[in-house]
Structure 1
Amino acid sequence: MPALFMIIRFRTPFWYKFVLLVLWVVSFDLTIFLLYKPLLALLRYLFLTLDIIFGVWVLSIFKKEIIVDQDTGTLKLGKKIFSLSSVKGVEKKGLATVFRFKDGTFAVFPHPVEDFDFLEKLVGEKGSE
């Protein structure tokens, strides 16, 4: 009998992405229309470069996620992979999600997740095994 392929993805919520996108658009508009003309050429390009970097960072958040693979019992945060059995607990700290491990270390996902209560329940069940 084949095993169930159970991968659960916890992404950043829509409201968080929307707020960051609005902040980027507003900062870009302020730079282009209000601050851009009276500044020196060097400062214009500096502000424009900073806005572009901020925009790329905002767009990169659309792909950020926490992946819980129940078949293998792993937790993936970005490029790091942890065993679910080594997770002691998960908690919210501001907008960040912090995973505490049994060896005393911790890992931080610096953005909120869509369904934190389900993540907490899932990690609590798998971490206690």
Structure 2
Amino acid sequence: MIISADTDNMMRLLSQVILADGHIHKSELIAFVSGVQELGLADQSGAVLSADQIRAWFEGYKLELNKTWSTQAKDVALTHLILSLAEWPNKQAVVDVLAKISVSDAEFHIEEKTLISIVRAYWQYEGLDAPGATIVT
């Protein structure tokens, strides 16, 4: 499966809400798969990712996180990730998926709430989806 950098970054961002509290619940992974499909994330050929492809990507990402020593602080890496997706066309849908994943384990941890708040803040959420709106840097 070959995916674009934007798709990979979006999946990385969505996975952060799963990883935020240090526990990976089956219900969160199910919500992650559903969310990726709800957002219509696709491979390079334009085919929407299957549940199996999404789960395989997540397993690979977990392995990558366990093997890789980041040269950036976690908060700096998260900032770069969020800003790399600043031009994503439907930010409300992304925030909705993040919220769905965060409550899928019947708990809403402060780390998850903080992550969603950070995403909204960095994307200057209010009004950013308006035509012609841009992020001021």
**Is the pair's TM-score, using the shorter chain for normalization, greater than 0.5?**
no
Q: Which has the higher contact order (CA 8 A, sep 6+)?
A: 2
**Higher Cα Rg, which structure:** 1
Q: Which has the higher helix share?
A: 2
TM-score under structure 2 length normalisation? 0.26
Q: Which has the higher strand share?
A: 1
TM-score under structure 1 length normalisation? 0.27
